[in-house]
Amino acid sequence: MQIYINSAFMGNIDQSKEKIAYWNHYINNHIGSMINSNNIKNISEFDDKSLLLVDDDNPFRERLARAMEKKGFEVTQAESVEKGISAVKSRNPAFAVVDLRLNDGNGLEVVKKIQTSNSKSRIVMLTGYGNIPTAVAAIKEGAIDYLAKPADADDVEKALLADPNKKAAPPENPMSADRVKWEHIHRVFELCNRNVSETARRLKMHRRTLQRILSKKSPR
């Protein structure tokens, strides 16, 4: 079973850029597996093309649904844990793309339901923040892959159709050290309910330094 992680998790934000870059490289090359054209199957090879999309970001979900339909998938949409589970009860999907954070709960609950109904279903988790603990939890519940948002239709298709028995190529464009740092800071900021003082305390940063970082746009 292979995992594809677009971003790394860092323990202490005071690490040097070299250490951040190292962990980003390690995750992408050793824990995650990038997918290339040599290990991608075609949707036409599958008898069941049903795809369940569960995401509470309506514009993103609808765009992705249209794109996946053009690629040959038979798409069903749901915007919550409740509706996702209901959709699974109506039809066990062969494929699923589930957002980790939904308005009414955790997307892993939908993953559990899908796995209970169809253990062969190919499930990809989506999240705004990529980190090792979440990736491990998703894989344990039955997901075959893990993508950090925003993920486009091509990324999703590759993840859903990748052949797990073939070794993939290493990443060509891993996330930069600056972007990894930015992602981690914003993740902690959100977990602290956007409280600057509490975030600065947990990250062991000066409050003004944190405010300057939060005011900047995300680096590439």
Q: Please state the pTM of the whole predicted model.
A: 0.62
Question: What does the mean pLDDT of the chain come to?
Answer: 77
- One CATH from 2.40.30.10, 3.40.50.2300, 3.30.70.270, 3.20.20.300 for 21-161: 3.40.50.2300
pLDDT(173) > 70: no
* pLDDT value, residue 148: 76
Q: Do domains 21-161 and 176-215 have the same CATH topology?
A: no
* The predicted structure's pLDDT at residue 199: 92
Sequence ranges of the domains in the chain = 21-161, 176-215
Q: Return the pLDDT at 166.
A: 59
pLDDT > 60? residue 187: yes
Lowest-pLDDT choice from 6-10, 93-97, 161-165? 6-10
CATH topology of domain 176-215: Arc Repressor Mutant, subunit A (1.10.10)
User: What are the pLDDT digits (tens) for 91-148?
Assistant: 999 999 998 888 888 888 999 999 988 888 999 988 765 555 666 677 777 788 778 7
Q: Residue 117: how many CA atoms within 13 Å on its side-chain side? A: 22
